[in-house]
Structure 1
Amino acid sequence: MYYINDKEYKCSVSVTLDVFNDRWKLAIIWHLLDGNKRFKELHEIISEITQKTLTVKLKELEGKNIIHREVFPEVPPKVVYSLTHIGLQLKPVLSEMHKWGIEYVKEHGTLTNENPCQTALCIM
């Protein structure tokens, strides 16, 4: 059995699925792999997400210790998001997901020369 945050899991895959239960969290992590970002930067990169949803997802990821939120005592306040040590360990996982996605599209769809990813990881 696995216990984390007062929850019990029978399988480690269940833990993973509970942490990454939507597409926004993975998109946030993907773009933070490229470096620290402010809220506005993340919102511009992930343009389909609403500000409210981004705020909620950032808080959830911070609560699960995947990202770190640093507040600088400035006026106006400056907040920077980065990946924690455990968050950075997702780089090979997401890189493999990226490669798999490309192969899937090649087999079952159409791949154009356009590259919508805005991170260095996409240019492999």
Structure 2
Amino acid sequence: MLDIAKSRNLYHRYICDFLGPRRLDIEDDHYDAIACCGAFSQGHLKDDCFPELIRIVKPGGLICIAMREEFLHTVEAYRGKLEPAMVALERKGCWERMARNIVPKYFREKDGVVFMYRVLAQ
């Protein structure tokens, strides 16, 4: 995908890295928004990436996470962990939840859940 994007010369910078607790080579408060669709799944991102997402989004910016709702209960890395981690960061004043919506038939017959957070000034 990066090669395709590069061939179209659409962006100033192309990054291939792992998103997790380690600091990315991206400035603080750099992006207006981040959208994650399909990034939270078995063997994919974990809740330890939330502080890094918050760090690279400008205060007032949005972080949208869309995923299959069942993964909140069936994926070991998320069961009883993902939403509590979101709430903990909200209580710390890092972000505020704007929405948590269930989307019927998000993937075939499976429902989805979309979280929308606004990053707060640190």
TM-score bracket, shorter-length normalisation: 0.3 to 0.5
| Pair member with larger Rg | 1
- TM-score, with structure 2 as normaliser: 0.34
Of Structure 1 and Structure 2, which has the larger fraction of its residues in helix? 1
